[in-house]
């Protein structure tokens, strides 16, 4: 498929499934595909706190902070969109506290776009008691052990109160190996919950619109000039269905029939199934996906980003860069490097010769190893910073390769180098 | 005492005890007193990696990193001089590794002046086995438990290899309550060791000078243009004598008789004795001290800085700002604040309204409390950064008050506010 054809197809799909406005003004939450290279696409997503170029990697700020990094670090790493977790912020400090501290953007000192996960994944993945019924999930707080309840309505209200640019629907996630019956059950529940999330979100938007009409979907420039944190938010559905293609296809159809969404997330992958299964699923789903932004939840190892962009995915999030960084593992173009290894003891070279981050432009591998061996806090931050910058540069490189309509050869060359060591 | 008299006295003392060069060029390691206000003085110290205005607070980078802070953080906090620990760097990663990684400045990414403590204090304060004899100290490494030995010569060589701007003599520290016999014994040993440190340091300088004569004491500008990390280093003696004034006076006389030092440190205070005893000792020593830079080792609580500057001290170091910061305790003009307290939960105000650091200009007390309650790494860094900036601003304020010849009233007003809460 050449670039022109890809671009035309994407537009056609966009026309059919989601009305792309024809006005010269970019409208809020619009997604424009700027170029394609096979199924890979690069686009621009308009959000209240700024525009985001895709493919994009979102660093994860679970508790309203990307672990060990400051907002300035994230800006210097080129982050445009950051994820925070509804479940964690609801449990501590509570969404009302966040609201009284100026809503999530002001709270965490981040003035660019934010996305909040709905809490679905967390409730299902955290240890301890939980009970799912039709109404929602009862679970045990990881902080105080107390019983709490999340429902589609509550998850939507909490996210509205937090005020991120993008909220996610509350979903029922099943493990990677779930059989069709279990996956069907979770998919059906997720679809019923999506309806409830959409309804509650529309009510919140309407009640908000009633008090301030002009804040509804104004052009981007207007918004950026005049509007506070919680004024405008879109809700994205999450597709479930486990590893069962037929379920995924049916789920997607039913989601798209439910409304004019501004994006769609693929959940319940990267939860224990083999990577080949995830890649295959993405490949088979891709032709059925609309021109909307496509967010593959929880995915963020370099090789997964490349494989998923190759299969038409636009957005990613993962704790890998910060978690691995805190463990002394750094992404480099030649594969992961464990900075604790003795070979780095007297190595004057930077972690990654090609990297422009503070870590790589200031410190030697020998010094970084010393920080880890001596258990110094600065090491956790410097490797986290580099890893986040690495994934953001990887996304930049992918965008450039797509614009050159050369994603395939680029990806092949990238893999040849990254996987050469066999350590990835 | 008015400014003129103070200034003249300081000059006279300087003339008598240490020749202040009359040339227009500032020579390396020269200290110029720019203004006085009573015994309080503000001056300029010329060091190979830059000039330092005094009074100055040195953040402590024990293992070659000021805990939780990057060199950029330190620069943004206005730090000009940073301390690192010879003992810790000798044990891990070893001074030879530091040298192969470009010596201490390059190693830790800090291009401004550095001072290394000699290891004396650490050897005496760390737990585990140690044995003092005339030759030196045998001790147990806190890293691997292995037996190691530090002598005056070794401590001097290690510091030369590390390459800080200022090295400290290897001393024998006794606890705050040590009786006169014990203190006399440690003083005598410290004086004998000082002789050995001075001899070894002179040899190192000479051997270095032999290979590159023009690098010996060139004018500041020359050095800053052309000279690497380990090219030039001065050695400062440490005065011991416990809480016994007669011993301190005798020790000082004998130190000053031993050479033309470029600075003098007061060690063995703030090691368990009552604060009043330390203040009294400083007050009584002050008239006997030459116009050299005076470094009160290990002191760094705000009230101690003010009291010691009032008594003629110029340099300070302490882990308090970073250690307390990591514990959630922040210095403010109204006394310390414990950010974990529930009262800060929904507080939108910054930690310190008057502070210009990243922490205070970006984040609310409520968010900072959340970071500590949620045990997020960013909290450790943000409070450490603020506390370091607080002490550096305190030193700036003191310099300004001295230049106005109004240190006394300034200190009184400062104390009235800082100690008002009674929580300090």
What are the tens digits of pLDDT across the range A105-118? Answer: 999 999 999 999 99
Whether the CB of B412 is below 8 Å from some CB of chain A: the reply is no
CA distance, residue B8 to nearest chain A CA (Å): 45
Which comes out higher in pLDDT, residue B104 or B6? B104
Residue B73: active-site member: no
Q: Is B342 on the interface with A (CB under 8 A)?
A: no
Which tokens hold the place of A36?
């394609």
Are the Cβ atoms of A93 and B65 closer than 8 angstroms? no
A279 touching B (Cβ < 8 Å): no
- Asked if residue A25 has pLDDT above 70, the reply is no
B376/A97 Cβ within 8 A: no
ipTM score over 0.95, yes or no? no
Amino acid A12: pLDDT = 44
Sorted by sequence, the CB contacts under 8 Å of residue B205 that are 6+ apart come out as B216, B233
Judged by CB atoms closer than 8 Å, whether chains meet at A378 and B72 is answered as no
What pLDDT band is residue B17 in, cutting at 50, 70 and 90? Answer: very low
Among all residues of chain B, which has the CA nearest to that of A360? B109
Is a pLDDT exceeding 90 seen at residue B219? no
Chain A interface includes B411 (CB < 8 A): no
Cβ contacts of residue A244 below 8 Å, gap of 6+?
Answer: A180, A183, A184
pLDDT band at B208; cut points 50, 70, 90: low
Note whether B348 contacts A376, CB cutoff 8 Å: no
Record the pTM.
0.90
Residue B291 has pLDDT above 60, yes or no: yes
Q: Is A227 on the interface with B (CB under 8 A)?
A: no
Q: Which residue has the higher pLDDT, B234 or A271?
A: B234
Contact B346 A101 (CB under 8 A): yes
pLDDT-wise least confident of A59-68, A274-283, B127-136: B127-136
CB B330 within 8 A of CB B320: no
Closest chain A residue to B62, measured at CA: A376
Interval B69-127: pLDDT, tens = 999 999 999 999 999 999 999 999 999 999 999 999 999 999 999 999 999 888 888 77
Using a CB-CB cut-off of 8 Å, the residues of chain A touching B97 are 345-346, 366, 370
Residue of A nearest to B326 (CA): A377
Q: Which residues of B touch A370 (CB under 8 A)?
A: 63-64, 92-93, 97, 107
Please name the residue of chain A whose CA is at the shortest distance from the CA of residue B105: A363
Residue to mutate among B101, B108, B326, B342, with most A CBs inside 10 A, is B101
Distance of CA B373 to the CA centre of its chain: 32
Residues A319-352: tens digit of each pLDDT: 999 999 999 999 999 999 999 999 999 999 999 9
pLDDT band at B25; cut points 50, 70, 90: low
Contact A377 B373 (CB under 8 A): no
Contact list in A for residue B366 (CB cut-off 8 A) is 93, 97, 100-101, 107
Decide if A97 touches B, using CB distance below 8 A: yes
Residue A37 has pLDDT above 90, yes or no: yes
Cβ neighbours for A36, distance < 8 A, ≥ 6 positions apart: A1, A3, A6, A7, A9, A10, A42, A402, A405
**CB proximity list for A197: less than 8 A, separation 6 or greater:** A118, A152, A153, A155, A156, A169, A170, A235
- Report the C-alpha gap between B275 and B283 in whole angstroms: 12
Q: Please list, in sequence order, all residues whose beta carbon lies within 8 angstroms of the beta carbon of residue A319, skipping any fewer than 6 positions away.
A: A60, A62, A67, A300
Whether residue A222 has pLDDT greater than 80: no
Mean pLDDT, residues B21-43 taken together:
84
Please report, in angstroms and rounded to a whole number, the separation of the first and last CA atoms in chain B. 30
Task: Judge: A107–B65 Cβ closer than 8 Å, yes or no.
Answer: no
Higher-confidence residue of A210 and A246: namely: A246
Q: CA-nearest residue of chain A to B93?
A: A370
Query: Which of A185, A293, A306, A158 shows the shortest CA–CA distance to A240?
Result: A185
* B92 → closest Cβ in A364, A367, A373: A373
Cβ–Cβ under 8 Å, residues A170 and A151? yes
Note whether B371 contacts A65, CB cutoff 8 Å.
yes
Give the pLDDT of residue A332.
98
Lowest-confidence pick of A83-92, B15-24, B315-324: B15-24
Chain B positions in Cβ-Cβ contact with residue A69 (cut-off 8 Å)? 378
Q: Is A188 exposed, middle or buried (0-12, 13-18, 19+ CB in 10 A)?
A: middle
Encoded tokens for A311: 């299969």
For residue A371, pLDDT over 60 is answered with yes
Residues of A belonging to the active site: 117, 317
CA distance B228 to chain A (A): 16
Nearest to B374 among A63, A366, A369 (CB): A63
Mutation for A interface: B62, B370, B372, most A CBs within 10 A: B370
Q: Mean pLDDT throughout A25-38?
A: 90
Name the minimum distance, in Å, from the CA of B335 to any CA of chain A: 24
Across the interface, of B107, B366, B376, the residue whose CB is closest to A63 is: B376
Would you state the pLDDT for residue B224? 33
What backbone phi and psi angles, to 5 degrees, belong to A239? -85, 125
Q: Do A376 and B65 touch (CB under 8 A)?
A: yes
Catalytic hit among B30, B117, B165, B304: B117
What are the tens digits of pLDDT across the range B398-413?
999 999 999 999 999 9
- What does DSSP say about strands B130-132 and B137-140: parallel, antiparallel, or unpaired? antiparallel
Task: Reply yes or no on whether the pLDDT at B225 is more than 70.
Answer: no
Q: Does B194 touch chain A (CB under 8 A)?
A: no
Q: Contact A366/B67, CB-based, under 8 Å?
A: no
| B111 among known catalytic residues | no
Q: Choose the closest CB to A101 out of B108, B348, B358.
A: B348
Q: Which of B64, B100, B108 sits opposite A346 (nearest CB)?
A: B100
Contact B367 A68 (CB under 8 A): no
Q: How confident is the model at residue B218 (pLDDT cuts 50, 70, 90)?
A: very low
Asked if the model's pLDDT at residue A390 lies above 70, the reply is: yes
Cβ–Cβ gap A358/B72 under 8 Å: yes
Query: Helix A407-418 to helix A302-310 angle, to the nearest 10 degrees?
Result: 160
**Separation of alpha carbons B366 and B341, rounded Å:** 10
| Chain A 57-76, residues with CB within 8 Å of chain B CB atoms | 63-65, 67-72
- Our CA-based measurement puts residue B401 at a distance from the nearest CA of chain A, in whole angstroms, of 34
SS3 B290: coil
Distance from CA of B176 to the nearest CA of A (A): 30
Strand ranges for A86-128 from DSSP E: 114-117
A382 contacts in chain B (CB < 8 Å): 70
Measured distance CA(B151)–CA(A288) in Å, rounded:
75
Q: Are B149 and B80 in contact (CB under 8 A)?
A: no
Choose between B407 and A219: higher pLDDT. B407
Phi, psi for A357 (deg, rounded to 5):
-75, 165
With b for 16 or more beta-carbon neighbours within 10 A and e for fewer, the A142-152 pattern comes to eeeeeebebbb
Average the pLDDT over A266-270 and give the result. 94
pLDDT at A234: 96
**Residue B220 token pair:** 């500041």
Query: Chain A closest CA to B342's CA: distance in Å?
Result: 11
pLDDT at B53 over 80: yes
What does the radius of gyration of chain A's CA atoms come to, in whole angstroms? 21
**Cβ pairs bridging A and B (under 8 Å):** 114
pLDDT digits (tens, 9 = 90+) for B241-259: 999 999 999 999 999 999 9
């Amino acid at each position: 498929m050449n670039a022109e054809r890809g671009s035309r197809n994407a537009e056609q799909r966009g026309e059919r499934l989601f009305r792309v406005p024809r006005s010269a003004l970019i409208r809020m939450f619009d997604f424009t595909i700027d170029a394609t290279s096979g199924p890979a696409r690069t686009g621009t997503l308009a959000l209240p706190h700024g525009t985001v170029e895709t493919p994009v990697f979102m660093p994860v700020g679970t508790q309203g902070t990307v672990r060990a990094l400051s907002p300035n670090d994230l800006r210097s790493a080129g982050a445009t969109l950051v994820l925070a977790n509804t479940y964690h912020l609801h449990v501590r400090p509570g969404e009302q506290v966040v609201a009284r501290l100026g809503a999530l953007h002001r709270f965490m000192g981040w003035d660019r776009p934010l996305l909040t996960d709905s809490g679905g994944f967390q409730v299902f993945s955290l240890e301890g008691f939980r009970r799912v019924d039709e109404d929602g999930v009862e679970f045990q707080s990881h902080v105080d052990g107390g019983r709490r309840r999340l429902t589609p309505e509550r998850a939507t209200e909490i996210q509205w109160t937090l005020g991120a640019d993008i909220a996610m629907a509350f979903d029922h996630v099943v493990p990677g190996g779930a059989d069709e019956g279990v996956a069907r059950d979770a998919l059906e529940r997720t679809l019923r919950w999506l309806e409830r999330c959409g309804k509650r979100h529309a009510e919140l938007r309407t009640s908000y619109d009633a008090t301030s009409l002009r804040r509804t979907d104004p052009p981007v420039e207007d918004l950026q000039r005049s509007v506070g944190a919680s004024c405008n938010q879109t809700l994205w559905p999450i597709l479930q269905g486990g590893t069962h293609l037929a379920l995924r296809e049916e789920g997607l159809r039913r989601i798209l029939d439910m409304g004019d969404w501004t994006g769609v997330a693929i959940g319940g992958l990267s939860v224990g199934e083999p990577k080949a299964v995830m890649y295959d699923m993405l490949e088979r789903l891709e032709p059925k996906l609309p021109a909307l932004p496509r967010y593959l939840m929880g995915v963020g190892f370099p090789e997964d980003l490349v494989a998923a962009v190759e299969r038409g995915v636009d957005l990613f999030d993962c704790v890998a860069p910060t978690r691995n960084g805190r463990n002394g593992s750094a992404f480099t173009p030649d594969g992961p490097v464990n900075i604790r290894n003795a070979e780095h003891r007297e190595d004057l070279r930077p972690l990654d010769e090609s990297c422009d981050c503070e870590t790589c432009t200031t410190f030697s591998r020998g010094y970084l190893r010393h920080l880890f061996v001596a258990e110094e806090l600065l090491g956790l931050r410097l490797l986290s910073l580099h890893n986040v910058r690495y994934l953001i540069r990887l996304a930049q490189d992918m965008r450039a390769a797509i614009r050159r309509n050369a994603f395939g050869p680029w990806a092949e060359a990238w893999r040849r180098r990254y996987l050469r060591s066999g350590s990835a």
